[in-house]
Amino acid sequence: MHVLITGAAGMIGRKLLERLARHRALNGEAISSLTLAMSRRWRGPRALRRASSADSDLAAPGVAEKAVAARPKVIFHLAGVVSAEAELDFEKGYRSNLGRHPRAARGGAACCGGYRPRIVYSSSMAVFGAPFPESIPDDFHLTPPHVLRHRQGDRRTAARRLHPARLLRRHRTAAPGDLRAAGDAQQRRRRGSSPRSSASRSPARKRFLPVADNGAPIPTRARAPRWAS
């Protein structure tokens, strides 16, 4: 099974990637290859060190198409910009949370007519609109007051039109500033001891790995992760 994860270096993506790297299977089916799309450099979990890469913007022309060129069977679409960041920067929130998704979906649709990957992506509970009852039912109205959540609502519509998809709404538990600070600190640490990162700077590892130049997925050949022992 070939699996694509967008936003693989993000809050949710990192945890999902570590889980998949540990089990090397998804719902009982072995993962033969894994494609990662992320907007910042992250070396990834140790078990997949050879497969990790960064520096891809799904909103850029051709990037999403390249990500799905190898026809991943399952796509975890987790890329996005969270609450305060999207509120403060309208253009960035619009481009990231709405622009990326149709491009990614079109990439899948354009790959070939019969290609229907399984898409799973996440949102937050803020897609609903106040005032709220004590507990909202599954069919509560979607009238969010925020910039970000409008984008997510639009995004859901796009996914529904194009693909059999699933959307999981989750409670967010961390502020975006915390995440950015953590990511920046990690990057600074990495730059401070960066000689080992020569592999990730090579042209072949620039964007989506492990995918060969002809677009074919490369088996990850994941080693047993140290934390599993």
Partner 1 sequence: MGFLIHAAGIPRDALGPRINLSMPGVSCTVGEQILALARIAGKRVAGRIRRVPDPLTERIVAGWPDQADAQRACELGFVPKTASTRSSRVPHRGRVERAFVA
Binding site for partner 1 (CB under 8 A): 12, 15-16, 19-20, 26-27, 74, 76, 83-84, 87-88, 118, 120, 122, 124-126, 128-130, 132, 134-140, 144-146, 149, 156, 159-160, 164-171
| Rounded-to-integer distance, Cα 102 and Cα 182, Å | 29
Backbone angles phi, psi at 88, to 5 degrees: -80, -30
- Cβ atoms of 76 and 2 closer than 8 Å: no
Which stretch of DSSP H or E encloses residue 158?
helix 147-162
Report CA-CA distances (Å) from 57 to 41, 63, 90. 12, 7, 17
Phi then psi for residue 189, to 5 deg, are -60, -40
